[in-house]
Amino acid sequence: MKTINWRLLNLFLVGVCFLPAALRVHPSLRAAAATGQGGGPSSSQPLALTQDNSRLIVANPDNNTVSIFVVENDQNYKMAEVEVGKEPNGVAFSSDGTGAYVANTADGTVSVLKLNGSVWSVAGTIPVGTEPYGIVMSQSGQKLYVSNARSNTVSVIDTGSNTVTSTISGVGPEPRGMAVTAGASDGDQTLYVTNFLALPANSTALDGSDNAKVGYVTAISVAYDTVIGQVTLNPVADSGFKAAGDALKHVAPPATPVATDFTFTTGAYPNQLNAIAVHNNFAYVPNTAASPNGPVRFNVNVQSLVNVIDLTSNQDAGQTINIQQAVAAQSNPQKLFFTNPWAIAFKHNADEGFVVSAASDVVAKLSVDPNSGAPTVQMNPADSSKVLEVHVGQNPRGIVISSDDSRAYVMNYISRDVSVIDLTQAPEVEIARMESANLPEPGTLDEKVQIGKALFNTSVGEFDPAGPGQPAITGRMSNNGWGACASCHPFGLSDNVVWIFASGPRRTVPLHATFASGDPNTQRALNWSAIFDQVADFEGNIRNVSGGLGIFVANDGITPSALPAAFTDLSGIPQLTVHGVGGWDAIKAYIQSGIRAPISPASKTDPDVVAGSLIFQQANCGSCHGSSQFTSSRVTFKAPPPSGTIVNTEIAAQLMKVGTFDPTAANEVRATAAAPLGADGFNPPPLLSLFAFPQTFFHNGSATSLDQVLQNVTHRSAGTSGADTLTDANARAQLIKFLLSIDASTPPPVNPY
C-alpha cells in the first residue's frame, strides 16, 4: 500500500468536485463535536453508552454475554446480562437506546438486542464477515459498520432492516479499530479503520530494523461506502531511549554496560493498532510500537506510541508521542510504565483524552492542542512528580466518556468488571467498580487458564503472599511495568515482528499451535532454533528482556531463584502462586487451552483449495508441517534430555535445513552482534492459521509473500528428497490458496509416503 494523493483522488472520484465534503470536518461541525452536540464523532469499543448517559452496555468475551448497566445518577447496577454469540467484542446502542448491536467474533455474526419493557433479549442475528471485532454507528444511526478482522472487510448494516447492504473490501489486513468523524449527516462523514499489524515500509525495508514497517489506517466514505485511501503512520526516528549497542551495525553491547554506554539512538514503528478516536480535526491511534533492533533490553523493545492523523490532509500529522518518555522523565522514582496502549476516548467539551494501558492496568490523561493536534501526557495535579495514572481493573481494553464529561467507564477484560472514573475530580479517580460477568469457579481448569491469561497479559502481576499476614507480591513480570508476554503476542498470537534476539533474527511465532489440539501433552519445540523445551524456559525473557524478577523463587517464597538453564528439570523449583496455582503452570494452561486459532475466511470447498490440499500431500509438505498443528516439531523427552540430544544449544533432531538461512543477509546477526544460529536448520513453524500473519515469512522476514516462499526450490523440495514437484506456477498458486485456508477446522495432512 502506498500513500494516496488525496487532491487527485478527490478529482477522480467526483469527476467535477463533490468528495471534499465527505473527507473534511467542517469548522461548524468541529464546534458541534467539541460541545457534545449532534454531529459528534464516535469510535468502536467493547462498551457503549446511550446518548442520554443512562445505560451502559459491556461485552463479556469469555462468557459469551453482554451486560447492561443503569449508570444514571451513579446508580451503577447491572440490570441484565444477555447471552449472545461466541466471543462478543464490539457493542453499540441504537440511536434511541432501546436496541443494541453486538459483534460476535468467533461466530461471524452481529446480535440484535431489543428492550421490551424492562427486559433485554436477542431479537435477531445478522451474518457478517469472518471474526467481526469492532462496530460503530454513523451519525444518523441508519448505518452500522462492522470490522471483519479475518476476512479483511467492513460490513455495512442498514439498521432499519437489520440487513447487510454492502461489504467493503480493500481495507487492508486485519481491520480492527474504527472511528467516524463528526458530520451533520452521513454524507459528511468519513470512517477510519485501523489495520492491526504493521506492514513493510517498502520493498527494500530491512526486517529487524526500527523503521522496517509502517502502520496503516483505511479511510472510507460514509456517503458511498467505498474506500477512498490509506493513511500511513510513520515510525519515530528517536524513541527517546538509548541502547548500548547496535546489532544491525554489528556493534556489540558491553557484557556489563554502564550508563555511559547507552549512546545508540533507537527508533520504533507503530504496531498493534487496536483503536482510533477522532477529536477536533485529528484522529489519534494508540499502539504498541516495535523497536526490534538489538541489543534486547526492556526499554528498547516495545514503546507506547500515540500517532496523530491530520484529517484535513489525511496524513500523519508528525505529532507522535511516546508515553513511556513521560514516565521515564518523572522525578518520582516510583515509576509505572504505560504498556500496551489499547483504547482511547476524548472528552466532548474539552481538549482532553484518556488512554488505557492494557498491561499496566491504568488510564493516562492527555491534553491535545486543537490547532496542531499535538498530545501531551498530563502530570498528577496532586503530585507533580508523577504522571497521572488512574488505576483500574485487570487488563483494561475499552473506554467511553459520558456526554457531559463527568464520567469515564473502562471495560476490564481479565477481571470482568467495569471501572467508573469521576472526571470532575482533580486528579481523576476510580469511584466504583461494577462486576460485569462471573469469573471461573475456584479450583477448576477454567480458573487456572484465567490465572494464566492474567499473568500473560500483565506487565505487573499480583501473586499470593509469601507467608501468612504478609502483603501480596507484585511487580515481578517486568521492570516497573514495562513489558508483558502480550506485548509481543497480542491475543496470544504474534505481533509479526522480526526481533534481533540473542539467537539471531526471529519473527514472533504465534502460540495457538504450541500444543496439539485436544492433546496437551503434545508440544512443539520452542523458538525458531528449538532452544527451549518448556514454556517456563521463558523465565529468562521475563528477567533478561523485560527486566523483571520472575516467577521462580527460592525456598523463602520471594527471593528470585538462580535463573534455570534451558533443558533442566524445572519441576522442583518453587513458583510464585495465584490462588494457590503456580504462575508458570497457569501460563502453560493458558497456552494449552486459552488461545483460539484464527478462523480463515477461505472456503474449504473452493476447487483450488481442494486441489492445493492434494498438492500439499503430494509434495509431502507434512514432513515438516504435519499434525493438527501443521508442524512436525515435537518435544519427545522430559527434561533433562538424553545425552546427545542438544547440539550447539539446539534440539538437533527438530531442525530442518530447507534453504532459508543466508548468513550473508544484512539482518542475520545476533543481538550481541555475533553470527546467528541457523546453519543447522530451523524448527518448522506451525502453518495453522498462517493467513492471519501477513506480508513477512521465514525466521527473518526475508520472504514478503507466500509466492516468494515457494520460489525457494530447496524449501519446496524438502519433503521429496530434493525432487522438485512444484515447478508449475499454477500448482504453486493452488497450494498457496490451501495454505491460506488452514485453520482449526482443516483436517491434518495425510503423509502419502
**Could you write out the three-class secondary structure of 626-658?**
CCCCCCCCCCCCCCCCCCCCEECCEEHHHCECC
Per-residue pLDDT, 670: 92
Looking at 593, 628, 662, the residue that finishes a domain is 593
CA distance 424 to 421: 9
The one-letter amino acid at 217: V
pLDDT of residue 138 exceeding 90, the answer is yes
Q: With 0-12 CB in 10 A as exposed, 13-18 as middle and 19+ as buried, what is 583?
A: buried
* 95 shares a domain with 199: yes
- Grid coordinates representing 35? 460541545
Per-residue pLDDT, 750: 67
* 481 shares a domain with 417: no
Q: How many domains does the chain have?
A: 3
pLDDT cut 90: percent of the chain above it:
89
Confidence of residue 13 (pLDDT cuts 50, 70, 90): very low
In a domain, 440, yes or no: no
pLDDT of residue 8 exceeding 60, the answer is no
Per-residue pLDDT, 187: 84
The mean pLDDT value of the chain amounts to 93
In a domain, 752, yes or no: no
Which residues, in sequence order, are bridge partners of residue 435? 417
In a domain, 189, yes or no: yes
pLDDT of residue 184 exceeding 80, the answer is no
Looking at 401, 435, 469, the residue that finishes a domain is 435
In a domain, 751, yes or no: no
Confidence of residue 12 (pLDDT cuts 50, 70, 90): very low
Looking at 435, 453, 478, the residue that finishes a domain is 435
Could you report how far apart the first and last alpha carbons of the chain are, in Å?
42
Per-residue pLDDT, 518: 74
Per-residue pLDDT, 296: 87
CA distance 289 to 291: 7
- Grid coordinates representing 108? 461471524
* 474 shares a domain with 426: no
Positive or negative: CA dihedral 195, 198, 204, 210: positive
Domain of 625 in residue numbering reads as 607-741
CA distance 451 to 440: 10
Per-residue pLDDT, 649: 95
Position of cell 533443558? 567
pLDDT of residue 31 exceeding 50, the answer is no
- Grid coordinates representing 654? 527438530
> Is the separation of the CB atoms in 34 and 53 below 8 Å?
no
CA distance 93 to 725: 55
In a domain, 748, yes or no: no
> Is the separation of the CB atoms in 284 and 192 below 8 Å?
no
* 620 shares a domain with 576: no
* 289 shares a domain with 311: yes
* 314 shares a domain with 198: yes
| pLDDT per residue as tens digits for the range 293-323 | 988 889 999 999 999 999 999 999 999 999 9
At 613, which CATH number?
1.10.760
Confidence of residue 36 (pLDDT cuts 50, 70, 90): very low
* 23 shares a domain with 127: yes
> Is the separation of the CB atoms in 64 and 85 below 8 Å?
yes
| pLDDT per residue as tens digits for the range 71-119 | 999 999 999 999 999 999 999 999 999 999 999 999 999 999 999 999 9
CA distance 636 to 654: 10
In a domain, 670, yes or no: yes
Q: What is the 3-state secondary structure (H, E, C) of 171-208?
A: CCCCEEEEEECCCCCHHHCEEEEEECCCEECCCCCCCC
Confidence of residue 673 (pLDDT cuts 50, 70, 90): confident
Q: What is the mean pLDDT of residues 503-520?
A: 92
Per-residue pLDDT, 147: 98
> Is the separation of the CB atoms in 523 and 532 below 8 Å?
no
Per-residue pLDDT, 28: 29
pLDDT of residue 10 exceeding 50, the answer is no
Cα 355–chain centre separation? 15
- Grid coordinates representing 751? 503423509
Among 383, 384, 385, 345, which residue's Cα sits nearest to residue 364? 345
| pLDDT per residue as tens digits for the range 211-223 | 999 999 999 999 9
The backbone torsions φ and ψ at residue 193, rounded to the nearest 5 degrees and listed phi first, read -130, 130
Confidence of residue 751 (pLDDT cuts 50, 70, 90): low
Position of cell 490523561? 365
The one-letter amino acid at 233: L
In a domain, 747, yes or no: no
* 466 shares a domain with 428: no
Cα 222–chain centre separation? 27
pLDDT of residue 361 exceeding 90, the answer is yes
Per-residue pLDDT, 674: 86
At 144, which CATH number?
2.130.10.10
pLDDT of residue 186 exceeding 90, the answer is no
pLDDT of residue 40 exceeding 90, the answer is no
What angle do helix axes 729-741 and 607-618 make, rounded to 10 degrees? 100
Among 698, 571, 568, 544, which residue's Cα sits nearest to residue 646? 568
Q: What is the mean pLDDT of residues 720-744?
A: 97
Per-residue pLDDT, 521: 82
* 218 shares a domain with 171: yes
Q: What is the mean pLDDT of residues 363-367?
A: 98
Among 240, 301, 275, 363, which residue's Cα sits nearest to residue 495? 301
* 97 shares a domain with 171: yes
* 166 shares a domain with 100: yes
* 245 shares a domain with 376: yes
